[in-house]
């Protein structure tokens, strides 16, 4: 496992401390989760971009088009 050291401005540190207290989690746990979610969303956007030409060719132009067929 790697280690990353970052500097937080005062406001960000206070916000992170409050979130950690509210959620009863450690700051380290929250700090690991946040880039993990960000990277997952970035990957999803990349996949979506790669798949859009195929979806459009199949008639899926909006999210509603997909949901309509998936929900049926």
Q: Is residue 22 part of a domain?
A: yes
60: containing domain = 10-71
Residue 72 pLDDT exceeds 80: no
Q: Is residue 1 part of a domain?
A: no
CA 63/CA 48 separation, integer angstroms: 11
Domain total in the chain: 1
Q: Is residue 62 part of a domain?
A: yes
Residue 63 pLDDT exceeds 90: no
Inter-CA distances, 8 with 12, 15, 17, 26, Å: 6, 10, 11, 16
Query: Are 42 and 34 spatial neighbours (Cβ–Cβ below 8 Å)?
Result: no
pTM of the model: 0.65
pLDDT per position as a tens digit, 20-58: 999 999 999 999 999 999 999 999 999 989 999 999 999
Chain centroid, CA 32 distance in Å: 12
Inter-CA distances, 25 with 8, 9, 62, Å: 18, 20, 38
């Amino acid at each position: 496992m790697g280690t990353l050291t970052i500097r937080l401005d005062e406001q960000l540190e206070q916000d992170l401390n409050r979130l950690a207290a509210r959620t009863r989690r450690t700051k380290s746990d929250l700090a690991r989760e946040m880039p993990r979610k960000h990277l997952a969303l970035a990957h999803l956007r990349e996949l979506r971009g790669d798949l859009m030409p195929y979806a459009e060719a199949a008639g899926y132009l909006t999210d509603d088009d997909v949901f309509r067929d998936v929900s049926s």
